[in-house]
Amino acid sequence: MVQRVLSASIIGLNVDIIEVEVDIQKKVPSFEIVGLPDTTVKESKERVRSAITNIGYMFPLNRILVNLVPAYIKKEGSILDTAIAIGILLGSGQIEDSGIIDINNTVFVGELSLDGQLKYTKGILPVVLRAIELGFRNIFVPEVNKEECKIVSKDINIFPVKNLLEITETLEGKINTTPLEFELTTNKNETLSLDFSDVRGQYSAKRAIEIAAAGGHNILMVGGPGGGKTMLAKRIPTILPEMDMKEIIETTKIYSVAGLLDGKGIITERPFRAPHHTSSDVAIIGGGRIPKPGEISLAHNGVLFLDELQEFKSNVLQVLRQPLEEGIITISRAEGNVTFLANFTFVGAMNVGKDNSDSVYSSTDIAKILHKISTPFIDRIDMHIEVPRVKFQDIVENPNNSKKSEHYRERVIKAREIQKERYQKLGLNIKTNSKIPPNLISEICQISDSSRKLLEVVMSKFKISMRSYHKILKISRTIADLDGNEIIQDHHVAEAVQYRVLDKIVYS
């Protein structure tokens, strides 16, 4: 008789429910796993064998054949361990199904240790969400993964267990395992201990960052070393709105797959990722033999900060063009394509010149640097601003005179609420002005004849691209929203033009 148990397999963020078929026959003892398993799945034979014997059961001295259905999907990871073990114990008659838990409506996931303990397993939250989507009623998960599952426990019975024995005794009705209760546990982000008031001076840069945060615009800061670019970047999450439930689940799924939750709560605060320029392509973009999310996906719904932008590999910057435009990154492998979410606010910083007194316009290095980064990449950054040397008067200024993050955050939230209401009325699935589709820019970002003449002069003088023109309009729309104006006025457009300082160098 073939015993069937349900489990799951994860590739990227994609989850497939796997049917584990176990056939035990009285033949020459052997243990085989078929159905396109990878090396980790094949190695589960030894983990399962040891776990079964170490919790007090006998490992059958028969021919054991495990088939992973559907056979055409490649199975990766140790998440199938528990289901294989339960299938063998049920198939050999060592445990009996009491009917208390409907096995045909239950998913078993988790990596086994040699003593039968269920260890922390990557990707549990995406599996639970997939089980909910397909209508399953029950799922057994490692207890160390329970914190990430509490947020969705109201939609399915989630049974957190410490070891394999707890599962067998629950199925037999010997113990009563209580399902998880809903709870919003948090995984604290230390960046929120920072505040914008820590940065002295740089009022124009703070204004630009406020606009970037309000409209979801990408921004590049250019200036000499020591001007405060890194300090400004680290404080951007402190002025962004709180994540909604959809964003929380999306972000936590990525961290779950990456194995970065480590038994902690879900991610409720916007991520801030700042990879070093020596990081490998895979570390930043994602990928590998078993595709994993990179830094750009770990920054999803948060901020990706690339300091010393010119030091990053050119091919990495070019690959960033897709997520900057589409909010996703697609990684192609021989077995197929894997898509990760990567909708982040991009913040870049470049040190130009030997000291803070050097202007972006006068630096002899800037043209060479921009050539390395490439015009198409610069084109996809909405705002580029100059961060000059901090003046002495600003350094000795009373800290109480500097506006705190809360001031900027209130204005950003108000502007985003205006955008949310606008795009809901239009039936668009976007939240910020930076995502306005090209075919609706002229309708949503209407400008006066005088503003149009100003942009005509700018385009004619600097020969900027159509993409740059559209970005100026989107920035103008955000500035107007911050002012609470439905109509974009001339001074909004004039200010927006100032946030494209590199256009004067790139296109002149």
500 DSSP assignment? B
Rounded Cα gap, residues 273 and 48, in angstroms: 38
pLDDT at 393: 73
Q: Over the stretch 17-62, which tens digit does the pLDDT of each residue have? A: 999 999 999 999 999 999 999 999 999 999 999 999 999 999 999 9
Lowest mean per-residue pLDDT among 298-307, 333-342, 356-365, 384-393: 356-365
Question: What letter represents residue 396's amino acid?
Answer: V
pLDDT (average), residues 64-81: 94
pLDDT at 201: 81
Give yes or no for residue 437 having a pLDDT over 70: yes
Give yes or no for residue 191 having a pLDDT over 70: no
Confidence category of residue 395, pLDDT binned at 50, 70, 90: low
Q: Are the beta carbons of 266 and 151 closer than 8 angstroms? A: yes
Q: Are the beta carbons of 207 and 199 closer than 8 angstroms? A: no
Give yes or no for residue 203 having a pLDDT over 90: no
pLDDT at 399: 65
Count of beta carbons in the 10 Å neighbourhood of residue 244: 11
Rounded Cα gap, residues 448 and 414, in angstroms: 25
Give yes or no for residue 359 having a pLDDT over 60: no
CA atoms within 13 A on the CB side of 377: 21
By residue count, the chain amounts to 508
pLDDT at 463: 75
Rounded Cα gap, residues 314 and 294, in angstroms: 17
Q: Over the stretch 82-132, which tens digit does the pLDDT of each residue have? A: 999 999 999 999 999 888 999 999 999 999 999 999 999 999 999 999 999
> Cis ω on the peptide bond leading into residue 271 (within 30° of 0)?
no
pLDDT at 390: 79
Count of beta carbons in the 10 Å neighbourhood of residue 260: 15
Give yes or no for residue 356 having a pLDDT over 50: no
Lowest mean per-residue pLDDT among 177-186, 207-216, 361-370: 361-370
pLDDT at 505: 63
CATH 3.40.50.300 holds for 190-506: yes
179 DSSP assignment? P
- Which residue in 126, 238, 252, 120 sits closest to 184, CA to CA? 252
Q: Cα angle vertex 505, ends 483, 448, to 5°?
A: 35
Hey, do 2-171 and 190-506 end up sharing a CATH topology, with the first three levels equal? no
Domain ranges in the chain are: 2-171, 190-506
Q: Are the beta carbons of 409 and 238 closer than 8 angstroms? A: yes
Confidence category of residue 159, pLDDT binned at 50, 70, 90: very high
Using CA atoms, how far residue 368 sits from 308, 353, 362, 371, 376, in Å, is 14, 12, 13, 5, 15
Render 261-292 in DSSP notation, one character per residue.
STT--B--S--EE---TTS-HHHHHEETTTTE
Give yes or no for residue 380 having a pLDDT over 90: no
Q: Over the stretch 255-313, which tens digit does the pLDDT of each residue have? A: 999 999 877 788 999 999 999 999 988 999 998 877 889 999 999 999 999 999 989 98
CA diameter of the chain: 88
CATH 3.30.230.10 holds for 2-171: yes
Residue 331 has which token pair?
A: 């990684």
Rounded Cα gap, residues 228 and 200, in angstroms: 8
421 CB burial (10 A radius; 0-12, 13-18, 19+): exposed
Q: Are strands 138-142 and 272-273 parallel, antiparallel or unpaired?
A: unpaired
Question: What letter represents residue 90's amino acid?
Answer: L
pLDDT (average), residues 147-158: 91
Mean pLDDT (the chain) is 89
Q: Over the stretch 228-237, which tens digit does the pLDDT of each residue have? A: 899 999 999 9
- Which residue in 173, 142, 165 sits closest to 51, CA to CA? 165
Render 115-140 in DSSP notation, one character per residue.
TSBEEP-TTHHHHHHHHHHTT--EEE
Q: Are the beta carbons of 273 and 191 closer than 8 angstroms? A: no
- Which residue in 436, 321, 448 sits closest to 376, CA to CA? 321
Q: Cα angle vertex 15, ends 70, 31, to 5°?
A: 45
- Which residue in 35, 93, 38 sits closest to 65, CA to CA? 35
Residue-wise over 301-330: b if at least 16 C-beta within 10 A, else e? bbbbbbbebbebeeebbebbebbbeeeebe
Rounded Cα gap, residues 93 and 345, in angstroms: 55
Count of beta carbons in the 10 Å neighbourhood of residue 259: 12
- Which residue in 121, 117, 157 sits closest to 140, CA to CA? 157
Give yes or no for residue 426 having a pLDDT over 60: yes
All residues at 6 or more sequence positions from 460 whose CB lies less than 8 Å from its CB, including other chains: none
Place of tokens 């349900």: 6
